[in-house]
């Protein structure tokens, strides 16, 4: 019995030794071939060696002289990427790689070497495509240079921080190769913005519209509204049917005499368009209630003032071609690659072109409000951070740029201006800076030009005049940007809400405060009410820091599955589309 055990153990060790030698020999062949014969196509040899070194010099894409499933998976993923164009696929040599795979013949005397070459080539392709999934194809450095040029030429300081994503592409490939499933890697590398897949699907729909002759173009006119009758109304109806805002069908004949008395003539409105005056006209040529509702639906999905009147802005979006929309969607998909892969369990999302803030928790929208963002001259920066404290009854330390451009010129005209606004002046920006009299500042202004005036701090205390309102939400950042209340509530009724100097004004600050207070032991509603009554500035640190992501999307699919487009208010679309690939 003991002798039998000895024989079994001996055989086991002999086999293990032989297997180890075979593996070592194979590993040595892979390493030698890689170092001595192979010429990389997409990456450098050092990077490629590191992939195989981490995988113990085992192949990723081939096994037992056969092509693994993940090889085909990689090629199909790239070929079906809706953002990549045909010339992008040419640059990635997809057709050549497929030809190499198809021409493989295990009877060829160089079969093993050819198989190794394909394995190396697919690893290179994976590395290049993975970098694209992580970083996108917009030339980041060139974009940053454009922002610097904008500041030099127009004194507009636009800032965009790309979120740095830390992912180990090599480790992910090793795991994917072991499981023969590349989705293990791609699911971690690729963006996961809400409804991104639906946005991808919309490209196919728009491509179909483009293939069928594109969207119908509207001829020039000033405005169209309910009650108007014209052949252009029929064209408008057909165009809105294309984007599924209305059904093309309507009642065949409408008696013009029975139209509402508020029907307006287009004589002064239309440009070189004849108006039908027959007693009976086609319903398709009458701007009725259904068409008004269709226009409102279209306006809402494009961020326009939803009044049902087709003016110039609505016409511009209606006349945007399917190809233009596809380009806009692709550009925004690329921007999503600059965003975190994990937004947080609970987070704030501010989309600048949409002028909206959402609080999202476990994929559910807890709060959705209108916001005011930076004017084109003072664009709100794009970045991610964490909200760490709240300030109740905030003082407003007026930025130096606003002081010199707005406050000081008004002070020269009216010496009592600061008193009417509750603004005090301090010697500097330190907390203990001494207060100085308005008279001293005016005397300095008289003797010097505004640009040469010392760096005084102008501070407006809590009041109805204070533009920060009753509360501000702080996430300390290099841009000095935060969320805050505002006394100017009427501005939220406007469709275009770019009025601030960069900070974000909230239409529902109290609701945001309530939402935070229900989930943070440091900030309760009772505490907040007590602090508000004191009318002095009070800072409260949050026990739970909340991620906030300020983004810039001009095309996306919303929480209701509706495709949305917005105006490129800061001209970032225009800058970035020149830098794709």
* CATH number of the domain that residue 503 is part of: 2.40.440.10
- 391 plus 408 within the same structural domain: no
pLDDT bin (cut points 50, 70, 90) of residue 65 is confident
- 176 plus 71 within the same structural domain: yes
Q: Is 45 inside any structural domain?
A: yes
Q: For residues 425 and 403, is the Cβ–Cβ distance under 8 A?
A: no
Whole-number CA gyration radius for the chain:
32
pLDDT bin (cut points 50, 70, 90) of residue 540 is very high
pLDDT tens-digit readout, 101-152: 998 887 777 888 889 999 999 999 999 999 999 999 999 999 999 999 999 9
- 438, 460, 482: which is the final residue of a domain? 460
- 455 plus 474 within the same structural domain: no
Residue 376 main-chain phi, psi, to 5 deg: -55, -30
Catalytic residue list = 484, 503
Query: What is the C-alpha to C-alpha distance for residues 180 and 175, in angstroms, rounded to an integer?
Result: 8
- 452 plus 527 within the same structural domain: no
Q: Is 293 inside any structural domain?
A: no
- 502 plus 402 within the same structural domain: no
Q: How do strand 364-374 and strand 498-500 relate by DSSP bridges?
A: parallel
3-class secondary structure, 416: coil
Token pair belonging to 121: 């080539």
- 411, 440, 460: which is the final residue of a domain? 460
Q: What's the structural domain count of the chain?
A: 3
Q: For residues 300 and 560, is the Cβ–Cβ distance under 8 A?
A: no
pLDDT bin (cut points 50, 70, 90) of residue 6 is very low
- 113 plus 35 within the same structural domain: yes
CA dihedral 50, 56, 61, 65 (to 10 degrees): 140
Q: How far apart are the first and last CA of the chain?
A: 71
Residue 346, number of CB atoms within 10 A of its CB: 17
Q: Helices H, strands E: what count in the chain?
A: 21, 19
| Residue-level pLDDT at 256 | 39
- Rounded mean pLDDT, 386-403: 91
Q: Cite the beta strand spans of 297-429 per DSSP E.
A: 346-351, 356-361, 364-374, 383-392, 396-397, 423-426
| Residue-level pLDDT at 15 | 42
DSSP readout, 174-243?
HHHHHHT-THHHHHHHS---TTHHHHHHHHHHHHHHHHTT-SPPPPP-S-B-TT-BSHHHHHHHHHHHHT
Query: What is the C-alpha to C-alpha distance for residues 555 and 336, in angstroms, rounded to an integer?
Result: 11
Residue with tokens 């040599």: 93
Q: The domain containing residue 505 runs over which residues?
A: 192-214+321-395+462-580
| Residue-level pLDDT at 442 | 82
pLDDT tens-digit readout, 337-380: 999 999 999 999 999 999 999 999 999 999 999 999 999 999 99
Q: Is 432 inside any structural domain?
A: yes
Which residues have CB under 8 Å from 27's CB, separation 6+? 56, 57, 58
Least confident of 96-105, 113-122, 245-254: 245-254
Query: What is the C-alpha to C-alpha distance for residues 10 and 24, in angstroms, rounded to an integer?
Result: 21
- 28 plus 166 within the same structural domain: yes
Residue 98, number of CB atoms within 10 A of its CB: 13
pLDDT cut 90: percent of the chain above it: 64
Q: Where are the alpha helices (DSSP H) in 45-110?
A: 45-54, 69-79, 86-91, 94-102
Smallest CA-to-CA distance from 372 within 354, 386, 360 is with: 354
Q: Is 65 inside any structural domain?
A: yes
**pTM: predicted TM-score of the whole model, two decimal places:** 0.86
Q: Is 521 inside any structural domain?
A: yes
Burial-class residue 65 by CB neighbours within 10 Å (0-12, 13-18, 19+): exposed
3-class secondary structure, 398: coil
- 502 plus 558 within the same structural domain: yes
- 156 plus 122 within the same structural domain: yes
pLDDT bin (cut points 50, 70, 90) of residue 4 is very low
- 62 plus 199 within the same structural domain: no
Q: Is 139 inside any structural domain?
A: yes
Q: Is 417 inside any structural domain?
A: yes
Residue 331 main-chain phi, psi, to 5 deg: -60, -45
Q: Is 290 inside any structural domain?
A: no
- Rounded mean pLDDT, 19-25: 43
Average pLDDT, the chain: 87
DSSP bridge pairs for 538: 392
Token pair belonging to 15: 């086999």
- Rounded mean pLDDT, 549-574: 97
Residue 526 main-chain phi, psi, to 5 deg: -65, -45
- Rounded mean pLDDT, 445-454: 72
Q: For residues 390 and 521, is the Cβ–Cβ distance under 8 A?
A: no
- 442, 460, 478: which is the final residue of a domain? 460
Query: What is the C-alpha to C-alpha distance for residues 124 and 100, in angstroms, rounded to an integer?
Result: 15
Residue 230, number of CB atoms within 10 A of its CB: 21
- 92 plus 207 within the same structural domain: no
Query: What is the C-alpha to C-alpha distance for residues 82 and 205, in angstroms, rounded to an integer?
Result: 12
CA dihedral 460, 387, 349, 496 (to 10 degrees): 10
Q: How do strand 62-63 and strand 396-397 relate by DSSP bridges?
A: unpaired
Query: What is the C-alpha to C-alpha distance for residues 387 and 476, in angstroms, rounded to an integer?
Result: 8
Which pairs count as long-range contacts for 495-498, CB under 8 Å and 24+ apart, including other chains? 495/303, 495/304, 495/305, 495/306, 496/303, 496/355, 496/567, 496/569, 497/355, 497/370, 497/371, 497/372, 497/373, 498/355, 498/372, 498/373, 498/374, 498/375, 498/376, 498/569
Query: What is the C-alpha to C-alpha distance for residues 240 and 243, in angstroms, rounded to an integer?
Result: 5
Q: For residues 189 and 546, is the Cβ–Cβ distance under 8 A?
A: no
Residue 160, number of CB atoms within 10 A of its CB: 20
pLDDT cut 70: percent of the chain above it: 89
DSSP bridge pairs for 580: 138
Query: What is the C-alpha to C-alpha distance for residues 433 and 423, in angstroms, rounded to an integer?
Result: 15
- 452 plus 543 within the same structural domain: no
């Amino acid at each position: 019995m003991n002798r039998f055990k000895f024989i079994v153990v001996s055989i086991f060790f002999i086999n293990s030794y032989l297997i180890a030698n075979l593996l070592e020999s194979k590993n040595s062949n892979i390493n030698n071939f890689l170092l001595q014969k192979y010429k990389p196509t997409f990456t450098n040899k050092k990077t490629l060696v590191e992939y195989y070194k981490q995988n113990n010099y085992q192949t990723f894409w081939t096994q037992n002289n056969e092509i693994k499933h993940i090889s085909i998976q990689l090629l199909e993923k790239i070929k079906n990427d809706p953002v990549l164009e045909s010339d992008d696929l040419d640059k990635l040599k997809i057709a050549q790689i497929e030809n190499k795979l198809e021409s493989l013949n295990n009877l060829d005397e160089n079969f093993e070497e050819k198989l190794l070459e394909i394995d190396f080539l697919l690893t290179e392709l994976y590395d290049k495509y993975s970098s694209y999934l992580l970083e996108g194809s917009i030339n980041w450095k060139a974009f940053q240079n454009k922002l610097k040029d904008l500041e030099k030429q127009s004194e507009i300081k636009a800032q965009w921080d790309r979120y740095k994503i830390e992912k180990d592409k090599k480790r992910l490939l090793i795991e994917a190769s072991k499981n023969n499933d590349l989705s293990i890697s791609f699911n971690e590398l690729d963006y996961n913005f809400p409804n991104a897949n639906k946005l991808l699907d919309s490209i196919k729909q728009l491509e179909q519209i483009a293939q069928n002759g594109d969207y119908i173009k509207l001829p020039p006119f000033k405005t169209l509204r309910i009650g108007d009758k014209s052949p252009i109304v029929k064209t408008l109806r057909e165009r809105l049917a294309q984007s599924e805002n209305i059904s093309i069908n309507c009642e065949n004949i409408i008696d013009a005499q029975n139209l509402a008395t508020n029907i307006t003539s287009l004589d002064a409105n239309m440009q070189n368009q004849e108006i039908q005056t027959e007693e009976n006209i086609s319903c398709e040529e009458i701007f009725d209630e259904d068409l008004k509702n269709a226009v409102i639906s279209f306006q809402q999905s494009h961020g326009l003032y939803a009044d049902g009147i087709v003016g110039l802005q609505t016409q511009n979006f209606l006349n945007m071609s399917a190809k233009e929309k596809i380009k806009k969607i692709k550009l925004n998909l690329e921007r999503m690659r600059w965003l975190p892969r994990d937004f947080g369990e609970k987070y704030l999302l501010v989309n600048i072109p949409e002028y909206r803030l959402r609080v999202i928790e476990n994929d559910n929208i807890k709060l959705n409000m209108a916001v005011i963002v930076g004017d084109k001259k003072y664009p709100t920066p794009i970045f991610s951070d964490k909200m760490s404290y709240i300030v109740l009854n905030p003082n407003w330390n007026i930025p130096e740029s606003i002081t010199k451009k707005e406050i000081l010129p008004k002070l020269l005209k009216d010496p009592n201006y600061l008193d009417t606004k509750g603004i005090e002046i301090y010697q500097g920006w330190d907390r203990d800076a001494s207060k100085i009299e308005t008279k001293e500042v005016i005397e300095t202004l008289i003797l010097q030009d505004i640009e040469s005036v010392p760096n005084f701090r102008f501070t407006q205390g809590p009041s109805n005049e204070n533009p920060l309102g009753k509360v501000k939400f702080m996430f300390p950042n290099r841009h000095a940007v935060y969320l805050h209340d505002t006394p100017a509530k009427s501005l939220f009724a406007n469709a275009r809400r770019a009025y601030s100097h960069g900070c974000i004004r909230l239409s529902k600050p109290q609701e945001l405060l309530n939402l935070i207070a229900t989930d943070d032991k440091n900030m309760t509603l009772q505490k907040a009410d007590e602090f508000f009554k004191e009318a002095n500035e009070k800072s409260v640190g949050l026990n739970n820091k909340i991620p906030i992501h300020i983004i810039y999307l001009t095309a996306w699919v919303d929480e209701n599955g509706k495709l949305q487009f917005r105006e490129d208010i800061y001209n970032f679309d225009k800058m970035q589309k020149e830098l794709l690939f």
